[in-house]
Amino acid sequence: MSTYIQLHLLTSYPPANLNRDDLGRPKTAFMGGAERLRVSSQSLKRHWRTSDVFQEALAGHLGVRTKRLGLEVMARLQEAGIAEGKAKEWAGEIADVFGKLEKGSVELSQLAHISPEERQAVDALTETLIEEKRGPEKEELDLLRKNPAAADIGLFGRMLADDPAFNVEAACQVAHAITVHPVVIEDDYFTAVDDLNKGDEDRGAAHIGETGFAAGLFYSYVCINRDQLVDNLGGDAELADKAIAALAEAAIKVSPSGKQNSFGSRAYASYVLAEKGSQQPRSLSVAFLKPVQGQDQATDAIARLEEQAQRFDQVYGECAEKRYSLNAHTGEGSFRELMDFLKQD
């Protein structure tokens, strides 16, 4: 049986526009008969993966998502004196290993998640081509790796449509974060004044605009299959535990960057319930099908989460073998103890 680690988080944000839709307004979802604020899982994963917390903890074990690999290889070849035509041809052959190319270009048509080992292999091959002034041989284009030692690829997976043997099944699932209560999105009307306008002829604003915003207490859910993660990383259990710790810290401490300069909406999770066990995972979002109302939403939301976990246990038996909770609302628990709890026993 697989070992699952589940994180249930409650994070409160003041007025903000964390994750915008195509009209620039905060994303929403309709749940339990009420409109809620929403932050997409794609946004959350992007901000966690690129955060200083995650990058520093896993330095040397992170991949790169890019379409520009062929352009970089071509530029390197040309810098070394290879003619443009040959540089484009050779760079295209290398980039084509990672996906289809845009017509007439060496740029990939889709993002490819490239591991450190694969990038090193590309760089080494590029230097060989420069030194020997020739194109790549067929066997030299075996650049993909089945179990790349890239923690982000191990957690979030990757798909290579043309080479499915090198696909990686994601070991981590992240739900869209939603507010536990109904919201009404408001509009912020603002103006910008020209500092050099003395007002002698025109006292009007140099710019007028508006942006949507709302405040909310969000429920977030993360599930990690630790055994799958270890397999994805070629059996490296130590790296898997480092990846889990880095992801957990980022999920607890890192805020989406949308409109941060306008709203300063930085926040740590107010409550974290961590669970470990071999039982099948389940979200606790059902606790908020009935929207939380009233003046003390944090206390009520925490009580709802804990009560729902107990009710699942009553009906299905113990849904987790071990639990640990951190409650910054009441000052109970500690971040250090939570990190120790997440480590493999």
pLDDT, tens only, 191-228: 788 888 877 777 777 788 788 889 999 999 999 999 99
Q: Give residues with Cβ within 8 angstroms of 254, minimum separation 6.
A: 47, 48, 51, 53, 54
pLDDT at 256 over 70: yes
Q: Give the residue-averaged pLDDT of 31-45.
A: 96
pLDDT, tens only, 295-344: 899 999 999 999 999 999 999 999 999 999 999 999 999 999 999 999 87
Q: Give the residue-averaged pLDDT of 38-58.
A: 97
CA distance linking residue 35 with residue 28, whole number of Å: 7
pLDDT at 92 over 80: yes
Structure confidence at residue 192 (pLDDT): 84
Q: What is the pTM of this model?
A: 0.92
pLDDT at 294 over 90: no
pLDDT, tens only, 111-142: 999 999 999 999 999 999 999 999 999 999 99
Segments making up each domain of the chain, as ranges: 4-60+170-185+215-342, 65-147
Sort residue 199 into left (φ over 0), alpha (ψ -120 to 50) or beta: left
pLDDT at 278 over 70: yes
pLDDT at 22 over 80: yes
What is the average pLDDT value for the chain, to the nearest integer? 94
Alpha helix ranges (H) inside the chain:
41-50, 52-57, 69-79, 84-95, 116-132, 151-156, 226-232, 237-253, 260-263, 297-316, 335-342
pLDDT at 2 over 80: no
DSSP secondary structure string, 64-122?
EEES-HHHHHHHHHHHTT--HHHHHHHHHHHHGGGSPBPTTSSSBSS-EEE-HHHHHHH
pLDDT grade for 259, boundaries at 50, 70 and 90:
confident
pLDDT at 59 over 90: yes
Structure confidence at residue 237 (pLDDT): 95
Structure confidence at residue 102 (pLDDT): 93
pLDDT at 240 over 90: yes
pLDDT at 1 over 70: no
pLDDT grade for 252, boundaries at 50, 70 and 90:
very high
Q: Maximum CA pair distance of the chain?
A: 77
Structure confidence at residue 139 (pLDDT): 95
pLDDT, tens only, 156-187: 999 988 889 999 999 999 999 999 999 999 98
Could you tell me the CA-to-CA distances from 213 to 24, 69, 145, 260 in Å, in that order?
Answer: 10, 38, 44, 12
Structure confidence at residue 107 (pLDDT): 95
